[in-house]
Amino acid sequence: MGPPCRRRALDRAAVSARATPLLRGRGGAKNKRQRAGGRHGCWRRDPSLERHFRGHRDAITSVDFSLNKKQLASGSMDSCLKIWSMKPQMRAYCLVGHKDAVMCVQFSPSGHLVASGSRDKTVCLWVPSVKGESTVFKAHTATVRSVHFSSDGQSLVTASDDKTIKVWTVHRQKFLFSLSQHINWVRCARFSPDGRLIASASDDKTVKLWDKTSRECIHSFCEHGGFANHVEFHPSGTCIAAAGTDKTVKVWDVRMNRLLQHYQVHTAAVNSLSFHPSGNYLITASNDSTLKILDLLEGRLLYTLHGHQGPATCVAFSRTGDFFASGGSDEQVRFPLFL
């Protein structure tokens, strides 16, 4: 991101206190909106439901888009990973291999592989095709909660209920090292965009930052009201956002190790979040059945989206930001769009 913005008063309904708006793009917000041609900077109209996918037999745990937007992956407590086609008449195919619930899925940056982690303690690397060829390896000694590729697609970081974070090579799935300072389940681990840092969220009520080269924990953000279910890096790599069981979303500056924004917009635990590729927006999914879209430039709530019957468990923007998908305990994958 660019130079720091000045502090300003924020919408009190959306944010618990004064916060620092995240940095504007070049030319300022007004010019950005004019260039994008949209009422909210990058969208020409309000989000609307495009499609919903049915086929899983239990709660959805994770969703992710391929780079080319032609495929959407979903994982479920039904032990199945599904690959959905964005073409209306194309049927989904189910990748079967895990022996227990699939807790997490992610496409590689190229889209040629999908990684999944399971309650069966394994990680699978799949070729997302009808044949569903896969490589399976035992990654942890307990449930694998999170998988994430580095931006170059060469490394994979996994997080587990065994309290560890592990880093692997994608080629040949060679174990590289483990990070083990958490004292409870690790819910989520993510590489920074430049691959130098790893962020992790744990039931021990901390979000930790790790230096990948030294393998040392360089900072711990403490969560006093609950623990973080999910953590993500801002596309710039200068901030992280965490989704909390205390109903809040927090954004921290990882350079200064300080809280930038604190949103209290949900009425139940927040399960998942995803940054828009522009870095200007954040979407969240909660046990209160709603999705919220936050405007990070203004520090305010932009949209509240209903549709899931029960907790909204996961959400993800597409790599280009013109789509997002969400999953819920209602066994549905919902696919709204903006453009």
What is the rounded CA–CA span in Å between residue 79 and residue 84?
16
Look at residue 257 and give its three-state secondary structure: coil
Look at residue 317 and give its three-state secondary structure: strand
34 secondary structure, DSSP code: H
Query: pLDDT band at 223, cuts 50/70/90?
Result: confident
How does pLDDT run across 279-312, given as a tens digit for each residue?
Answer: 999 999 999 999 999 999 999 999 999 989 999 9
How does pLDDT run across 116-142, given as a tens digit for each residue?
Answer: 999 999 999 999 887 778 999 999 999
Look at residue 118 and give its three-state secondary structure: strand
What's the pLDDT score for residue 49?
59
The full DSSP string for 146-207 is EEEE-TTSSEEEEEETTS-EEEEESGGG-EEEEE---SS-EEEEEE-TTSSEEEEEETTSEE
Mean pLDDT of 26-39: 34
Query: 282 with 260: CB under 8 angstroms?
Result: no
Query: pLDDT band at 91, cuts 50/70/90?
Result: confident
What's the pLDDT score for residue 25?
33
Task: Say if residue 40's pLDDT is above 70.
Answer: no
Backbone φ, ψ for residue 34 (5° rounding):
-65, -40
Task: Say if residue 22's pLDDT is above 90.
Answer: no
Task: Say if residue 7's pLDDT is above 90.
Answer: no
Query: Scanning the structure block, which residue is given the tokens 């083990």?
Result: 180
Query: Scanning the structure block, which residue is given the tokens 């962020």?
Result: 199
How does pLDDT run across 149-177, given as a tens digit for each residue?
Answer: 999 999 999 999 999 999 999 998 999 99
Q: CA quadruple 42, 260, 109, 58: dihedral positive or negative?
A: negative
What is the rounded CA–CA span in Å between residue 316 and residue 42?
17
Task: Say if residue 27's pLDDT is above 80.
Answer: no
Q: Which helix (H) or strand (E) holds 33?
A: helix 28-36
Residue 315's beta-bridge partner residues? Answer: 326
Q: What does pLDDT average to over the chain?
A: 86
What is the rounded CA–CA span in Å between residue 32 and residue 334?
29
